Structures are given as structure tokens and as C-alpha cells.
Amino acid sequence: MSTAMDLSGQTALVTGAVKGIGAAIAKAFLEAGADVLVFDIAVPDASTSLAAYAGQLGRTIHYCQVDTSSRSAVRSALQACLRATDAGAVDILVNNTGISRVTPFLELTEADWDAMFNTNVKSVFHCCQAVLPSMLERGRGSIINIASELAYLGRARFVPYTASKGAILSLTRSLAREFAPAIRVNGIAPGPCDTDMLRAEISTSEQWESEIDLPLRRVAQPEEIAMTAVFLASGFATYYCGETLSPNGGALMR
């Protein structure tokens, strides 16, 4: 058993990793020695591409444009990715794909609701079903699902988002029970983090600080969330099963 934050020899699939928290997780995994596969509906911006960085580290990163809420797209992307790289299988899956939207509850349409659950929850279903058979065959694997502290706190005008993240908390526990001991399934419920998602929700971090009780008095940088993913995937976290860790600046203390 490796007891270091060393992921060398492992292949990690990170969804929604063209930017934000997912990109920081992909980078942190590369730094920890893993090779990385990225599934994202968006195309990476050449200026922020991780490919050159991966090359400098002697690691590989392979990007696939895919809507992770589509079962068939996830399946064919995974096959294509594994064929195009030396990776035989995925050792670590991070289900990070997510969207959020600020809408008063009474103005929500059924389409709004479905879009949120399709992207935030169904993506996890499809990606887990795609990678679990080979993880089980090899008798090991780690799955990390990105929830949100808002799943616990709730937030006005975010009902579908917070409900979808609540689903992530409970599916993490149920998957963990179903696939332990071979596969460890855990989650991360970040607090407010400086990404395009947060910027679209609220224009300044000061507004966050006045809106919620945030003892650390600042929003997180994506790298601060990414380290929790490296920890959960690593040999330091072998006794974590069905747990969701919450780097949240003290907004929520349980």
C-alpha cells in the first residue's frame, strides 16, 4: 500500500475539467504522477491547456469532447480515450461535471429541472457505470464525486442545484456500500470557489462574504479544492468510504 500522495502509474478520468475546479484537479493529479483523461463538453482554450504542462512533467493528458449526461457519448468516449492512450483502464474517476443556475423557484420550468439533474446527477450515473466493470475486474479503484456545501446549507433560488448536489451525497454513500471494499467511493462538498460558475452566480466575492458566514473571509482557489481530491485518491485515504469531505472555509461546521 502506498502511503504517499503519489498517484504514479494510475490513470485518472476527470469530468468537466477544461476549467475551474476540474482543471485544478487534473493539474494536481498530473503533479502527483497520474496520467489524466478529461471529458468535457467544452473545447479547451489553447492558452489554458494542460497538455504542455503534462508534457513538461512527463505525464500524458488526453482530452475528449463529450457531454457526460449522454450515456452513449460517455461509453464511446471512454473506449476512444483508452484506445488512443496507453491506459488500459481508469483507476480514479472524478465526477466533477456541473452546472448551476440562479432561478426563483416559482419561475423554474421542467426543462430547467431536467437540465440540472441530467448534467449534475445523470453524468455521475453514466460515468460510474462506464468505469466500474473494469475497476471491479482489477479489484481496485477510487471514485470521487463533487457535491457542494449548499447540499447541506440550502440556498434560495438554487433549488434544483442544491437538490442535485444532495443526490450526489446520497448516491456517494450508496455506491460506496455497494462497491466496497474493492472500490472506494467518496465525495467533496466544496464551499464557494473562485471559478466561472461562482462568478456567474454572484459578481464579487465580497458579496459571498456578506451573504454567508465565511470564517476564512475569502472564497477558495480551485487548487485548494483539488488537494482534497488528490488526498482521497491517494494511499493516505484508504480508510475513507462513502465520506464527503467539505473544504468550505468554515461556512459549514459539522
Ligand X SMILES: NC(=O)c1ccc[n+]([C@@H]2O[C@H](COP(=O)([O-])OP(=O)(O)OC[C@H]3O[C@@H](n4cnc5c(N)ncnc54)[C@H](O)[C@@H]3O)[C@@H](O)[C@H]2O)c1
The DSSP secondary structure of the chain, one letter per residue, reads ---SS--TT-EEEEES-SSHHHHHHHHHHHHTT-EEEEEESSPPPGGG-SHHHHHHHT--EEEEE--TT-HHHHHHHHHHHHHHSS--S-SEEEE---------GGG--HHHHHHHHIIIIIHHHHHHHHHHHHHHHHT-EEEEEE--THHHH--TT-HHHHHHHHHHHHHHHHHHHHHTTTEEEEEE----BSSHHHHHH-S-HHHHHHHS--TT-SPBPHHHHHHHHHHHHSGGGTT--S-EE---TTS---
The yes or no reply on residue 40 touching ligand X (CB under 6 A) is yes
Binders of ligand X among 181-240, rule CB under 6 A? 190, 192-193, 195-198
For the question of residue 161 being annotated catalytic, the response is yes
The yes or no reply on residue 142 touching ligand X (CB under 6 A) is no
Binders of ligand X among 53-112, rule CB under 6 A? 67-69, 96-100
In the complex, least distance from residue 4 CB atom to ligand X, rounded to whole angstroms: 26
Near ligand X by CB under 6 A: residue from 4, 42, 180, 216: 42
Tell me which stretch binds ligand X (CB under 6 A): 5-13, 17-25, 46-54, 79-87.
17-25
Annotated catalytic residue within 63, 152, 161, 240 = 161
Tell me which stretch binds ligand X (CB under 6 A): 40-48, 77-85, 103-111, 136-144.
40-48
Contact set with ligand X (CB under 6 A)? 15-16, 18-22, 39-42, 67-69, 96-100, 119, 146, 148, 190, 192-193, 195-198
